[in-house]
Structure 1
Amino acid sequence: MERLAASIGELDGAPVVFQAALDVPHGGVLFALPALLATGLLRHAATYFSLPRGYYRLDTLLIVLAFMALARLKTLESVRYVAPGEWGKLVGMDRIPEVRTLRSKLAILAQTGEPEQWSATLCQEWMQADPDAAQVLYVDGHVRVYHGQTRLPRHYVARKKMALRATTDYWVHAMNGQPFLLVHLPLDPGLIEVLRNDLLPWLDKNVPNQPSEEELDADPLRHRFTLVFDREGYSPALFRFLKEQRLACMTYHKYPGDPWPEEEFSPVQTTLASGANVSMDLAERGTRLGDDLWVREIRKRCASGHQTSILALDYSSEPTRIAPRMFARWSQENFFKYMREQYSLDKLVDYGTMAFPETFQVVNPAYRKLDSQVRSQVAKLARKQAEFGALLLEDDIEPDAVEGYEQKKTALRDEVEARLREAEQSKTLRRNTDRYIDVERLPDEERFEPLKPLSKHLVDTVKMIAYRAETSMANLVKEKMARLDDARPLLRGLYNAEADILPDEERGTLTVRLHHLATHCSDQTLEHLCDELNATESIFPGTKLRLVYELVSGRNP
């Protein structure tokens, strides 16, 4: 009767009631629940979200979304192709929501709740729980390619090597690739502006263990925390601003210049973020950017002779610490690749669009066209100037070829002068064209509408929680594994394995009994995982049942 009352809106939600069930598909995903709860799946959810009275509770809905992510159901539409009753057994319900219900509930949470504040609060807690990891933060934008009908701005997609309609999200990670913070923006202003206007004000208030003003005054070289980003953030003006704020940063030199002499490099031992000890050939110099900014430049020389140049505002750390921190930026790229492939990070959640305020500033299409024209003309001019310079250096001209040489030189000089005038005219036009204009001034063929971001932000936060939970479980199973790279594949198999669900109201337990996996070695590893999970004494949300994990193979060898 309670479930009937909940279905007609007389209760806040149907009660969670488990029935004994054998061979439940995806039952192994219940092994992730303690990690999800510890990571913060339901923490603060009631503060930032609420649902109207109905059949599905808020905690049930969030658990379903997290289980879907871990079981690799790539989109909300994937629910159409699973047995809703079998999935309902995983959360103590008759069935999980159908796609239409799931979308409507997400829309309510996005419109009436505060997904961004919920995500930021969780980030603050994660940083407080691991303050050392929060001292070096990695910032990067992730371009999500869009294939729909909505007209979105174009972005250069490095992995596709072309400009495509897309949106950009900005992520903040720890050195080991664990995600901290996610920022959705309706229009991408670029990494430099996002750092200045969106990320730094928040990080300034929330990064833990920052030195006091007295400590900063006592040590002029000390910084509050470190930001690491790629060449998109290269800007002497930004570096100067960060230095004034007593923040360190690391990035690759966008214009490194000539290679340094080989004798400047010396082999040193250093430790990578993965814990591996390696030898690197490093060299260091001081470099002046602009007129008044002095930064450290550290270069790594590869066996091929290629030199990678790193700029750092960290004036106190050894090069053996700076270089591994910079190269650990690839942990972000690995995260994005894994999330695209395993968690469908780029998939849409909401197909709705929103309108820009009329005063919202965007890049002037006329300026963009002129800028592209100038870049093309300058590149062609440089090639002709190089060709003309090479011609002037020729000193072994035969007497009978002098006339042809002079004609060729005159023609090249005329072409260089013509291209120079053409480039200067285009630069003048670009200089007299507004770089930014209000949205209302855009031509009709250039107008675009951004996608609604809040539903996507909510689902991405759940996926972030699921990834962190999976990582914590991977760290546990690695303790009993010889090949550490097999940890995540083992967990993916676990999440999709069948399990028996056996509630015992008298003992107050909910036993999840996993079926035998493919190998005896995997079973031994999961027995260790069961011991660790049982030690948490986690309670299934909405009940008083303590979760107990065991293997069928352990009971029936």
Structure 2
Amino acid sequence: MAVTVSGREWAMAPLPMGPGGSIPVGPGVDVLIDEDGAGSVFLWGMAAWYWAAGDDSARRLAAVQLVNAQHASQRAVAEVLGLNESTLWRWRNDYKEAGTGALVNERKGPKGPWKLTDDMAESIVSKRAGGASLRDIADRHGVSTDTVRRALASKQTPKPEPEPEPGSGSGSGRVLVPLARPEGRETERQAARRGALAGAAPVICEGASLPLAGALVILPALAATGLLDAMDTVFKPVKAAFYGMRSLVLTLVFASLVGEPRAEGLTRLNPVDLGRLLGLDRAPEVRRVRQRMAALGEQNRGDELFKALADRHVNNNPEACGVFYVDGHVRAYHGQSKVPKAHVARIRMSMPAELDTWISDGRGDGILVWQAEPGASLVGELKRVATEIRELVGPNRRPTIIFDRGGWSPALFAQLDAAGFDIATYRKYKVTPEPRNRFTEHQLVDDLGRTQTYLLADRNVRLPYTHNKTKRRFDCRQIVRLDPTSGHQTQIITTRTDPDPAPLAYAMFSRWRQENFFRYMRAHYGLEALDTYETTPDDPARTVPNPAKKAAAKHIRQAKTELAKAEAIEGRAHLSPGRTPAGDRIVADALDIQRTELADLKTAARAIPVRVPVTDITPAAARLNDNTKRIHDAIRMATYNAETALARLLAPHYNRANHEARSLLHEIFTSPADIHTHNNKLHITIAPLSNPRRTRALQALCDDLTATQTLYPGTNLTLTYTTKNP
């Protein structure tokens, strides 16, 4: 810089604004912090703020006012004071809302005496080991759930002392503890809360007669569906949590197998019993499951999950994926939101509901599902069905799509045939019955080993339809089945050209497998569960029939009826004696007025639009949010397919498998079992069942499952299944 003295300019070195050792944080702003933690802020060399060592409140106030006065940036102040920038941002918000008092660093929490005594801590640990939830323990002791967590973290959960039991020894010579309790995992829970753990690893709880352990037989079949792999691949990792993706999915799987397919059903299961199956100390609570599933739903990847499962299913079951069944399933809604209506066939009424379109394979196992648009017809949905199936099977195969009369459209049949698909459906509308002498007997042995006998008539037909205002005909095949008892004929339309019509008839009549799939899923897997209360606004561009059009048509019908009555009365009166010209004119004028009113009503009705945007009729129109629902459905479908695979494995070993396979599996799922590890194997020894023949079938199933060499998820332990000697 330069100064002028006696008319001459002299150059001078700039003087330092801040004292030695200070740190500049802005133009003319320096901060000096001594070894004890006391600090000062200098503005252009003048001390403006000061805080003593240990006076954190004054330090916070200086930092906030430096930034608020725009003397320095938030980042620079945070760096020189050793703060996180978000912390300083939070202080500024507190200061803005409550003033200086909000920056006072007082001890948080209760100001009274500490409630957590040693006796209380031991009581908390004991109750937690007994399966009580954190909320129940906190309410019983009059403390917060955070206090309960601190007590659990400060004391180790006592390990049960082994008590010998005759016949409970493992193959390694160890004695298994009856009803052994898993070790506490509070240290890992604390690590997850700090963000240092993303999913606790499974730790096997070895013990004898462990409840619900029979449900572990599902794991080999579940691994074949690829559910766990698909969940890990499709969804992005969530924030650190004690319950990882594996634990979350297996919780829902095991809960469904033992009869609680909905999230709230976890309140009716012992969390410790379910936790043993997960390799944890306890299963997650309802709130945690809902939060985690909602977080996954926000990623909006349910369709990708289903496609990953469908690809795995088609690759593993090529023999069942030459035929696909398609049908819609209506989920009734009983809430307060303005959801579009749909016809619920099973209760024969129209009510708020959502329509799901399902695709199943030739054995009735679920493959794909999506939420259809309101009012969607099966004819319209079949176009998307064809696209989805083509992506699954590839360009070189010609699969068969089977559906009911709701998809009747010869024009669509022609499009599907040209696109490389065969179709099969029931013929719609009345047709001339086939003569009795056209029917011949056909037999086949179906995929379940049963002999099917049909009386069939087979011939080619041409179905008329209109395309681009041009009349055309579609050539196809008609197979008619005759019921010898009632004489009823059932017509099947197909494009398949197999020489023997019996397999085609069997495939068409087996469409009930998909109906059975819906029925079983509703009863045992909560297919119609809401799963989330969230809704999304309906598409404002979607149009619906205008109710004003219907009301106008009603007024026209009433006016026509009144005019017809008046004309009839006038006609009868015209023949009666005593009529005068003046009276005739009055009657004629009245009739002219009615005719004019009727014409005006017709003109006004023609001006009313037939369809209007849905928001004009129902401003609060909404749709059920299916993001979370689709993930639950994928887990349920994979679990159902796994259970069905076990039922098929039972068929050669159980004579009544066609009628009792699933009831036998339900008994296995809820049976106790011994669990122990030896030589890198996880041994599951299931208790005998209700009668010897069921136990023998279980042992044969165990042998088949052991042969798969499946690993317990998250470990390198090979699953080995056996049964106890009765």
What TM-score range do you get, normalising by the shorter chain? 0.7 to 0.9
Shift in CA distance, 435/63, structure 1 to aligned 2, threshold 3 Å: farther
Cα distance in 2 for residues equivalent to 1:176 and 1:87: 31
Find the counterpart in structure 2 of residue 238 from structure 1. 412
Cα distance in 2 for residues equivalent to 1:68 and 1:300: 44
Q: CA RMSD in A?
A: 2.7
Query: How many residue pairs get matched?
Result: 487
Find the counterpart in structure 1 of residue 230 from structure 2. 44
Corresponding position: 1:525 with 2:697: yes
Deviation string, structure 1 residues 89-147 (Cα, Å, up to 9, x no partner): 11111111111100000001111251210111110221122223222111000111222
Find the counterpart in structure 1 of residue 537 from structure 2. 355
8 Å CA contact 2:462–2:473 kept in 1: the answer is no
Report the Cα offset of residue 168 of structure 1: 1.2
Specify the code of the residue in structure 2 equivalent to 1:363.
V
Corresponding position: 1:57 with 2:230: no
Aligned residue among 513, 531, 547 for 1:366:
547
Find the counterpart in structure 2 of residue 125 from structure 1. 312
Cα distance in 1 for residues equivalent to 2:510 and 2:716: 43
Shift in CA distance, 530/428, structure 1 to aligned 2, threshold 3 Å: farther
Specify the code of the residue in structure 2 equivalent to 1:139.
V
Cα distance in 2 for residues equivalent to 1:346 and 1:436: 31
Cα distance in 2 for residues equivalent to 1:158 and 1:226: 26
SS at the partner of 1:166?
Answer: strand
Task: Please show how residues 210-249 of structure 1 align to structure 2 within 5 Å.
Answer: 210-211=396-397, 224-249=398-423
8 Å CA contact 1:79–1:99 kept in 2: the answer is yes
Moved over 6 A (4+): 370-373, 425-433
8 Å CA contact 2:540–2:614 kept in 1: the answer is yes
Shift in CA distance, 274/368, structure 1 to aligned 2, threshold 3 Å: farther
Corresponding position: 1:32 with 2:218: yes
Report the Cα offset of residue 209 of structure 1: 7.3
Uncovered stretches (5+) of structure 2, i.e. residues with no partner:
1-186, 466-471, 559-599
Find the counterpart in structure 1 of residue 181 from structure 2. none
Cα distance in 1 for residues equivalent to 2:191 and 2:392: 44
SS at the partner of 1:43?
Answer: helix
Find the counterpart in structure 1 of residue 645 from structure 2. 472
Report the Cα offset of residue 248 of structure 1: 1.5
Task: Please show how residues 188-227 of structure 1 align to structure 2 within 5 Å.
Answer: 188-196=375-383, 198-208=384-394, 210-211=396-397, 224-227=398-401
Between stretches 184-193 and 303-312, larger displacement belongs to 184-193
Find the counterpart in structure 1 of residue 303 from structure 2. 116
Corresponding position: 1:288 with 2:468: no
Corresponding position: 1:547 with 2:719: yes
Find the counterpart in structure 2 of residue 489 from structure 1. 663
Aligned residue among 492, 504, 509 for 1:327:
509
SS at the partner of 1:142?
Answer: strand
Cα distance in 1 for residues equivalent to 2:373 and 2:294: 18
Corresponding position: 1:134 with 2:321: yes
Find the counterpart in structure 2 of residue 460 from structure 1. 633
8 Å CA contact 2:410–2:463 kept in 1: the answer is no
Deviation string, structure 1 residues 54-96 (Cα, Å, up to 9, x no partner): 1111111111111112112131111112111221111111111
Specify the code of the residue in structure 2 equivalent to 1:462.
I
Cα distance in 2 for residues equivalent to 1:273 and 1:531: 23
Report the Cα offset of residue 365 of structure 1: 4.1
Aligned residue among 665, 671, 674 for 1:500:
674
Cα distance in 2 for residues equivalent to 1:354 and 1:274: 45
Report the Cα offset of residue 208 of structure 1: 4.4
Shift in CA distance, 274/532, structure 1 to aligned 2, threshold 3 Å: closer
8 Å CA contact 1:256–1:309 kept in 2: the answer is no
Larger radius of gyration: 2
Cα distance in 1 for residues equivalent to 2:457 and 2:437: 9
Find the counterpart in structure 1 of residue 682 from structure 2. 510
Deviation string, structure 1 residues 363-404 (Cα, Å, up to 9, x no partner): 32439958998xx99xxxxxxxxxxxxxxxxxxxxxxxxxxx
Specify the code of the residue in structure 2 equivalent to 1:478.
A
Deviation string, structure 1 residues 182-224 (Cα, Å, up to 9, x no partner): 122353512111121x32222222214734xxxxxxxxxxxx2
Corresponding position: 1:438 with 2:620: no
Specify the code of the residue in structure 2 equivalent to 1:6.
A
8 Å CA contact 1:272–1:278 kept in 2: the answer is yes
8 Å CA contact 1:3–1:15 kept in 2: the answer is no
Specify the code of the residue in structure 1 equivalent to 2:231.
A
Q: Taking every aligned residue pair, what percent have the same amino acid on both sides?
A: 33
Aligned residue among 255, 262, 280 for 1:68:
255
Report the Cα offset of residue 473 of structure 1: 1.0
8 Å CA contact 2:323–2:362 kept in 1: the answer is yes
Cα distance in 1 for residues equivalent to 2:190 and 2:276: 18
Report the Cα offset of residue 328 of structure 1: 1.0
8 Å CA contact 1:187–1:450 kept in 2: the answer is no
Between stretches 236-245 and 226-235, larger displacement belongs to 236-245
Specify the code of the residue in structure 2 equivalent to 1:502.
H
Cα distance in 2 for residues equivalent to 1:265 and 1:512: 56
Cα distance in 1 for residues equivalent to 2:601 and 2:534: 40
